[in-house]
Amino acid sequence: MKRRLLFGERMLLGEGKEPFHAVIPFRLRGVFEEKDIQYALGRLQKKHPWLRANIHIDEKNVPWFEVPEQTSPIPIRIVDRKSEEDWQQESMQEWHTLFDYKNKPLIRLVWIKGNDSSDMLLVFHHCLCDGGSAITLIYEFLKVLDDPTADIGMENPILGIQDVVPAPILKNNRQRFKAKMIGRLATLTIKCIPVSKKAIDRQTDYLIHWKLDQTTSQQLISHCKSLEITVNTFLSATVLDIFKNVRGDKAFNKVSCPVDIRRFAPQVKEDHIFAFGLMIVLSSNPKLDFLDNLRLMQNYVDRKTAKLNPYITMMVMESAHNALNSFTKLLKRGKSSNDCMFSNLGRIQIPHQYQSFTLETIFSPSVLGPLGNTTTMVTSTYQGVMDFSFVGSEGYLPYHEALAIRDELIDSIKRRLNYQAAS
């Protein structure tokens, strides 16, 4: 079984010499055996063919996912647990540890082993899958770890664009012509944009983590519902405000928000191993106050998402493979134009209590790659608690400014909730 990497996947892979990794840590209360963990990982590989795949580069220098006859198990690295913060250091180490993509799977597990409490880190190359896929993998892994006989089904894997874009669209001459022309225009534009000879020195990478307490988390969700504003829009607007306050003229007033393709392409199932995303860029109006900006931004989000078309987007990108190198250079060497990427995974619906262990918490994923500004904030909610991971690099956002952004973000949320309660 094999398939050619799509444009976005090739971009994330690059030449395979620079890591572009996502890490999702979670904490378990219980006692575990390595053989049981390996068995559960093996069941994931049995269900999902691409978890067994290596990457093969053909004679035209095109990468393919390919499942070999003799597959390698998902590697496990075991570390003795010394503190509750070990997972942060191990996450940062995993960002920079390359996958041997020609010979081994593009996924691995780190087990920070304690006596009765363990942290586990699911690590994968971002060209393999997105955060939504990874959350499903954790759900399935824990289900089998708890009950080796559990049925997790079998994935019918995506074998190419034809498994995502409906045939009436993919074979429509008008749509194909439109996609090709947009792709050619984008290719020409990208090749004409001047870039520097060297990539920006991103210097030291860092990870900042925090949680809102359960009361504050629930108040925030309720407050957004009362305003008829999504939590994502509220937090995006707040992030834009805080970047402006902390960075002043260095702020760009732009935040990029990934949108799950599964909302618009029902062909991509929850348990599909897939790494294609859509994007919306948000900005605030400096002439408006926070509440008016919220309404304006929510209206923009609603209109923009209504127009998102994953099918045409995929067709355009697939027509632009010859622009891949130029696009990658632009991302690596071009000037940064946004403050950060902000991603809200929303409520994670994975059981808390199992027969032989407890899932105490899931930490929000962290992602780091070589394509431009690394500043990324990811939030998720588990057991009613909102969790944040904030990734950055000194060359883009100094660490002391990132700490100030975290502190002001927490303070701003609580201040607005307190004002709402008082009024």
**How many beta carbons lie within 10 A of that of residue 69, not counting itself?**
4
* Per-residue model confidence as pLDDT tens digits over 160-215: 999 999 999 999 999 999 998 988 888 888 777 777 777 788 999 999 999 999 99
Give the strand order in the sheet containing 385-393.
205-211, 385-393, 376-382, 340-347, 255-260, 277-282
Average pLDDT on 96-125 reads 96
CATH topology of domain 2-146: Chloramphenicol Acetyltransferase (3.30.559)
| Burial of 223 per CB tally in 10 Å (0-12, 13-18, 19+) | middle
Dist. CA 409–CA 236, nearest whole Å: 11
Look at the block and give the residue holding tokens 């994975």.
Answer: 350
Dist. CA 402–CA 246, nearest whole Å: 9
Dist. CA 315–CA 175, nearest whole Å: 9
Whole-model pTM: value is 0.94
Dist. CA 347–CA 353, nearest whole Å: 17
Domain with CATH 3.30.559.10 in the chain: 2-146
Dist. CA 268–CA 223, nearest whole Å: 32
CATH topology of domain 204-307+336-422: Chloramphenicol Acetyltransferase (3.30.559)
Cα–Cα distances in Å, from 296 out to 53, 234, 302, 337, 343? 45, 11, 10, 22, 20
Dist. CA 406–CA 404, nearest whole Å: 5
* Per-residue model confidence as pLDDT tens digits over 338-382: 999 999 999 999 999 999 999 999 999 999 999 889 999 999 999
Domain with CATH 3.30.559.30 in the chain: 204-307+336-422
Q: Is there a contact between 101 and 55 (Cβ–Cβ < 8 Å)?
A: yes
Mean pLDDT taken over the chain: 93
Look at the block and give the residue holding tokens 């190419």.
Answer: 160
> Looking at residue 356, what is its pLDDT?
94
